[in-house]
Amino acid sequence: MLEINNVTKIYGEGSARVVALDRVSLKVEDGDFIAIMGPSGSGKSTFLNIIGGLDRLTSGEVILDGHRIDNLGENDLVDIRRGKIAYVFQQYHLLPSLTAMENVLLPLIFCGDGGDEQKVETILSRVGLGKRAEHKPSQLSGGEQQRVAIARALVSGPSLILADEPTGNMDQKTGNEILELFKELNQEGRSILMVTHSADIARQAKQIITLQDGRIISKAVQQSVR
Amino acid sequence: MKLYQIVAKDVMRRKRRVLYAALGVVIGTMTVVGVLTMAFAGQAKIYKQLEQYGPNLTVIPAVNNLDMKLGNLSMGTLTVGDNYIPQSELPAIRQIADSNIREVMKIDDQGNIATLAPYLYENTKVNGVSVVVVGVDPEPEKLVKSWWNVGKGDYINGPDSVLVGSLAAELLKLNVGDTILFNNNELKIAGILDETGSSDDYQIFAPLASVQKAFDKDGMISSLDIRALCNSCPVETIADSINKNIPGVTAIAVKQIAKSEMGLVDKMSNLMLALGGITLAVGLFGVVNTMMSSVHERIKDIGIMRAVGASRNQIIKVFIYEALIIGVLGGIGGYFLGTALAFAIGPLVFEGTAISFVPQYLPLALGVSIVVAVAATIYPAIRASQIRVADSFRSV
Ligand SMILES: Nc1ncnc2c1ncn2[C@@H]1O[C@H](COP(=O)(O)OP(=O)(O)O)[C@@H](O)[C@H]1O
Ligand SMILES: [Mg+2]
């Protein structure tokens, strides 16, 4: 479903020049669950940002379902964010003044279909937050906030979820609970690209790739995973 | 739920920030409303003064200057004409004035409208000192000279009672109750006027009929003041009509004076409005500044919204909705604070002016503050909507 060909991303110029990604290529099939590992600064976030159109690449191409998306205009990128690709971030990135319900409604409101609160309630129950709909982020624990963020990613029915260290701010137990959620989403057939520092978590993905200095230095398919 | 509902909720929950942003708008709007309210009151005051003071028309005997020539030699000028107007012309003059006013003001009432104050001026000597005696019609005179204040004694209260100007009383050593003689006609001093600062101070006022009798000028007056109770009265038309229809008199509209006074007020309100405009412009920079920082503070939120599917236009919309709310708050606040400002300092600017609420300035205030708030928001919002999502997360 997703094909990344020879993607290079260079930040800055002259002495400030940083090659964040160096001719990276990767194929993601439907239903893949890929963990991305690598030291800090190796280009993991840049990689996800470019796939999702949050950042522009310097050269190479990104093909989603047979169409190039790296050179799309802003309006077409919006369409992709509204349906095919969704994000989950390490810092949750919820709007602090809105309740859980409203945060999850937001993608639907931007889509213009008014916002189906029933649907949002179902999704919130699904991520285990049925009773937290009217809470604001500040009234929720880290794990709960991340569940809200996952619900928000799910609400528009994406086929690909990009998660940048979603368990990075959590203790192991909470992190594992979040991971279980991702596994469920994967079992529903959604593809997942997840950056993680934890070998324990990476081990449960179907595939692990390791980045270093902007290059993929290893790809490992894990047979043991269910 | 709609986008604007989300924005409204968001704004309600960020009260402090939003009120802070509204403050700049409030200050600008407050100044404009304050200035306008004061100018409005000042204008109303001057209108009122014009209504109180002075006639709208003066009618004097027509005089013609004839150049006398002998061949090419000028022999000087000869003034031809009477020095008096026959009192019998008054009804005709009243008829002209009232019918013109009725027409313009759409009044059906057949009663008298304009006030006619006739005058007969005579020079005489009292206690051996020259003085001007003015024959007046006591009732209309009181209306026309509304600023008169009888300091001692009473106003003219009978055919043989007179009112003495303050300086005349001093010079002639006259007191209330004293008797004076006009050509052997005995009159009694009913009262003495407070100083007015005008020529009234040197004169003695007596009932018209008594003066006519004493000086043998039966049925004659020297001049006539006409006062109408309206600012839009067609004084020029009345003057023209009198000049055309009544022989031997010249009517002069005094509206020019009113006009120049109004012009002064206009100039003053323009000046104040300019000041208000400058304040508003300076305020606008303040508003742009707060809006910029308010948008800047929310760059991360903008990134979040874009990441979950907001288009650039939707981001701009979010900020415009917010600006509308700020504009409405700022407009209402600015209106009331501006009026309060006018109440506080208006009386110092236009001495003794009664400031009042001017409801029609509320929509104006709302308009001004909404325009200012939206104008100040649009540019930073557009800029912020163009930041790459990845950068907006990093910038915080
Ligand atoms: N906006 C940017 N400008 C300049 N350099 C950047 C920018 N974003 C990331 N980088 C650099 O690119 C490299 C990869 O960063 P990143 O993708 O965030 O790494 P990771 O997520 O693996 O820690 C780092 O060296 C980082 O400093
Ligand atoms: Mg990173």
Q: What is the mean pLDDT of residues A183-204?
A: 93
The answer as to whether A64 is a domain residue is: no
- Check: CB of residue A186 under 8 Å from CB of residue A192: yes
What is residue B77's predicted lDDT score, i.e. its pLDDT? 57
Band of pLDDT at residue A9, cut at 50, 70 and 90? very high
Q: Of A20, A55, A24, A65, whose CA–CA distance to A159 is shortest?
A: A65
Report pLDDT digits (tens) over B59-94.
888 876 555 556 566 555 555 556 888 999 889 988
CA distances to A204, B59, B63, B79, B116 from B82, rounded to whole Å, are: 123, 13, 7, 9, 21
d(CA B241, CA B254): 15
**Comparison of pLDDT for A164 and B110, the residue scoring more:** A164
Q: Which of B1, B301, B309 sits opposite A111 (nearest CB)?
A: B309
Direct distance between the N- and C-terminal alpha carbons of chain B, in angstroms, rounded to an integer: 29
What is residue A198's predicted lDDT score, i.e. its pLDDT? 92
Least confident of A7-11, A129-133, B58-62, B154-158: B58-62
> Does residue A171 carry a pLDDT above 80?
yes
Domain enclosing residue A173, as ranges = 31-48+81-221
Number of domains in chain A: 1
The answer as to whether A75 is a domain residue is: no
Q: What is the mean pLDDT of residues A136-147?
A: 94
Q: Of A166, A169, A174, A213, whose CA–CA distance to A33 is shortest?
A: A166
Q: Which residues of chain B have pLDDT under 50?
A: 396
Q: Of B306, B324, B294, B292, whose CA–CA distance to B385 is shortest?
A: B306
Question: Per residue, what are the HEC states of A50-85?
Answer: HHCCCCCCCEEEEEECCEECCCCCHHHHHHHHCCCE
What is residue A206's predicted lDDT score, i.e. its pLDDT? 93
Least confident of A102-106, A117-121, B232-236, B287-291: B232-236
Determine phi and psi for B227, rounding to 5 degrees. -125, 130
Report pLDDT digits (tens) over A19-49.
999 999 999 999 999 999 999 999 999 999 9
What is residue B265's predicted lDDT score, i.e. its pLDDT? 66
- A40 in contact with ligand 1, CB cutoff 6 A: yes
CA distances to B119, B328, B330 from B339, rounded to whole Å, are: 46, 17, 14
- A49 in contact with ligand 1, CB cutoff 6 A: no
d(CA B193, CA A25): 107
What is residue B39's predicted lDDT score, i.e. its pLDDT? 78
CATH number of the domain residue A114 falls in = 3.40.50.300
Sequence ranges of the domains in chain B? 3-47+261-394, 63-247
Residues 244-303 of chain B with CB under 8 A from chain A are 300-301, 303
What is residue B73's predicted lDDT score, i.e. its pLDDT? 61
Q: Which residues does chain A have within 8 Å of residue B307's beta carbon, measured at their own beta carbons? A: 52, 54, 81, 87, 93
Alpha helices in B350-388 (DSSP H): 361-385
> Does residue A98 carry a pLDDT above 80?
yes
* B389 touching chain A per CB within 8 A: yes
What's the mean pLDDT when you consider all of chain A?
Answer: 92
What is residue A66's predicted lDDT score, i.e. its pLDDT? 92
Residue identified by tokens 């809006």 is B291
Q: What is the mean pLDDT of residues A156-176?
A: 92
The answer as to whether A112 is a domain residue is: yes
| B237 membership: H or E segment, kind and range | helix B235-245
What is residue B252's predicted lDDT score, i.e. its pLDDT? 82
**Which residue has the least CA distance to atom 5 on ligand 1?**
A11
Question: Residues 6 or more apart from B390 whose CB is under 8 A from it?
Answer: A46, A49, A54, A55, B303
> Does residue A153 carry a pLDDT above 90?
yes
Band of pLDDT at residue A158, cut at 50, 70 and 90? very high
Q: Dihedral (C-alpha) B301, B306, B308, B313: value to the nearest 10 degrees?
A: 110
